């Protein structure tokens, strides 16, 4: 900062050497300031003297009446009333000049208020009392006389107060202009850039501190920004790898789905021949049915689920929990879940009325921790019925949008890969017309025969 100031001063000196008229301009400017301040001091001093003389005359005449003093009562050959009037008149301007000039290191205060104001109001009261005393000599007792006396006293005291302060400030300006003019006459340079008061130095230091603080904050922000960018890049790389892994699994799954679809397509003619052959003889069909029923008595473990997600916590939970005890024609051997909802009971009653085949009773949820819905698996006919009664299970958690997507994906996979037709019924559909639901299930099963 000192180098910057020295550079500015060198440029200023070069400018002064190249232009001699610049010195004359500085002399004229500061000489005009000095003359203006001196003229204003003389003018304000004249006004102050006029005001003080008027106030002195009023007080001198009034104190003679109030204090009953004559001219022969003197101190140091000065009448007492004149001495008192002079002291009262001069006390306010002298005190104001001392206060404004800064002779005292600290301004005198009483109860947090400058003593000048107490002197000011005391001066108004004394002047008003003096004018009122003079006015009371006449027989008239008009209220306007008192008002006029108060206005005159306020004008005289106010003019004395502010004229005294203005004279002190003008004297400081005159003295400063005079010193500037001396500097110009001796050195030929503008003195203002050479002087720096404490306030300017303080502002410069605060400015430098603010710049340093802003620089440190900017560096800290850049470091934090770089750290966040590094985290974002690492996260982006991580998720890119996850997406790539899912895409690879999706490609493998699609290839598997295409191969299964081709296998199903090739198996359809064979299936048609088997169905035609089965329909030719009732006895053969009954034997095959009895054989199928005996096979149903066996409890085969369910195949494991294929998890296509990267997170092992999103496993699809589906396990058979309820089966028929004995696969015969009686309806009493149906084992139902202990938490079967009212909608489930209503659906079972409708199935019994239609005399439908006995299904395998299960429960299903897209993932662990969610309420499960009722599942009726008519395994012999490749028909699975889903009753969306999970909200009756007494749990606060519900299926979200991702769970619904997983459920629909399961239905599509069963339809396209396994050839299983899935039927989904809501609570409202079952409650409104259960017989219609059971009839629809019956039609689907009949079409599979």
**Poorest-confidence range of 25-34, 138-147, 180-189, 440-449?**
138-147
The per-residue pLDDT for range 411-433, each reduced to its tens digit, is: 888 888 888 889 999 989 988 99
pLDDT at 384: 93
**Poorest-confidence range of 19-28, 196-205, 368-377?**
196-205
pLDDT at 385: 93
Q: Would you state the structure tokens that stand for residue 386, as one six-digit string?
A: 């889903």
More confident residue, 125 or 273: 125
The per-residue pLDDT for range 250-280, each reduced to its tens digit, is: 888 788 777 777 777 776 676 666 666 655 6
Q: How many CA atoms lie within 13 A of 348 on its CB side?
A: 20
pLDDT at 58: 75
Q: What is the pTM of this model?
A: 0.36
Q: Would you state the structure tokens that stand for residue 205, as one six-digit string?
A: 């230091």
- Cβ atoms of 416 and 378 closer than 8 Å: no
Query: What is the DSSP code string of 226-273?
Result: HHHHHHHHHHHHHHHHHHHHHHHHHHHHHHHHHHHHHHHHHHHHHHHH
> Looking at the DSSP assignment, which residues form a beta bridge with residue 113?
110
Q: Would you state the structure tokens that stand for residue 5, as one six-digit string?
A: 């100031």
Res. 203: pLDDT tops 60: yes
More confident residue, 151 or 228: 228
Res. 331: pLDDT tops 50: no
pLDDT interval class at 170 (50, 70, 90) = confident
- Cβ atoms of 163 and 44 closer than 8 Å: yes
Of 436, 255, 261, 414, the closest CA to residue 351 belongs to 436
pLDDT at 424: 92
User: ∠ CA 220-224-225 to the nearest 5 degrees?
Assistant: 115
Q: Is 246 exposed, middle or buried (0-12, 13-18, 19+ CB in 10 A)?
A: middle
Res. 289: pLDDT tops 80: no
Rounded to an integer, what distance in angstroms lies between the CA atom of residue 350 and that of residue 346? 6
The per-residue pLDDT for range 340-381, each reduced to its tens digit, is: 788 888 888 888 888 888 888 888 888 888 888 899 998 888
């Amino acid at each position: 900062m000192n180098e910057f100031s020295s550079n500015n001063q060198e440029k200023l000196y070069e400018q002064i050497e190249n232009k001699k008229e610049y010195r004359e301009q500085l002399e004229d400017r500061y000489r005009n300031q000095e003359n203006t301040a001196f003229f204003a001091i003389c003018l304000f001093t004249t006004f102050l003297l006029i005001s003080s003389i008027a106030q002195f005359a009023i007080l001198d005449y009034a104190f003679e009446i109030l204090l009953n003093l004559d001219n022969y009562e003197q101190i140091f050959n000065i009448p007492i009333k004149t001495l008192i009037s002079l002291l009262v008149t001069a006390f306010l301007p002298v005190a104001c000049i001392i206060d404004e000039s800064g002779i005292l290191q600290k301004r005198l205060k009483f109860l947090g208020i400058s003593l000048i104001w107490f002197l000011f109001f005391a001066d108004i009261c004394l002047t008003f009392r003096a004018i009122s005393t003079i006015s009371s000599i006449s027989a008239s007792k008009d209220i306007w006389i008192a008002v006029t006396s108060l206005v005159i006293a306020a004008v005289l005291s106010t003019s004395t107060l502010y004229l005294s302060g203005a004279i002190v400030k003008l004297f400081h300006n005159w003295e400063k202009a005079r010193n500037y003019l001396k500097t110009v006459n001796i050195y030929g340079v503008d003195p203002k850039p050479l002087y720096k008061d404490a306030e300017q130095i303080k502002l410069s230091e605060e400015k430098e501190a603010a710049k340093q603080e802003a620089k440190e904050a900017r560096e800290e922000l850049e470091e934090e920004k770089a750290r966040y960018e590094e985290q974002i890049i690492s996260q982006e790389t991580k998720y890119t790898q996850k997406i790539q892994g899912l895409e690879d699994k999706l490609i493998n799954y699609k290839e598997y789905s295409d191969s299964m679809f081709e296998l199903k397509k090739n198996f359809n003619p064979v299936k048609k021949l088997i169905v035609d052959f089965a329909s030719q003889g009732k006895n053969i069909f009954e034997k095959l049915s009895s054989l199928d029923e005996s096979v149903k008595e066996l409890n085969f473990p369910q195949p494991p689920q294929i998890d296509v997600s990267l997170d092992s916590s999103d496993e699809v939970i589906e396990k058979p929990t309820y089966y028929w005890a004995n696969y015969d024609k009686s309806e009493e051997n149906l084992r139902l879940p202990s938490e079967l909802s009212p909608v489930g009971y209503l659906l079972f009653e409708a199935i019994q009325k239609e005399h439908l085949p006995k299904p395998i009773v299960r429960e299903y949820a897209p993932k662990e921790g969610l309420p499960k819905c009722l599942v009726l698996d008519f395994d012999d006919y490749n028909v699975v019925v889903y009753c969306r009664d999970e909200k009756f299970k007494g749990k606060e958690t519900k299926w979200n949008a991702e769970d619904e997507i997983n459920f629909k994906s399961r239905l599509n996979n069963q339809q396209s890969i396994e050839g299983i037709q899935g039927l989904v019924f809501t609570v409202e559909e079952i409650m409104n017309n259960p017989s219609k639901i059971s009839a629809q299930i019956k039609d689907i099963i009949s079409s599979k025969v």
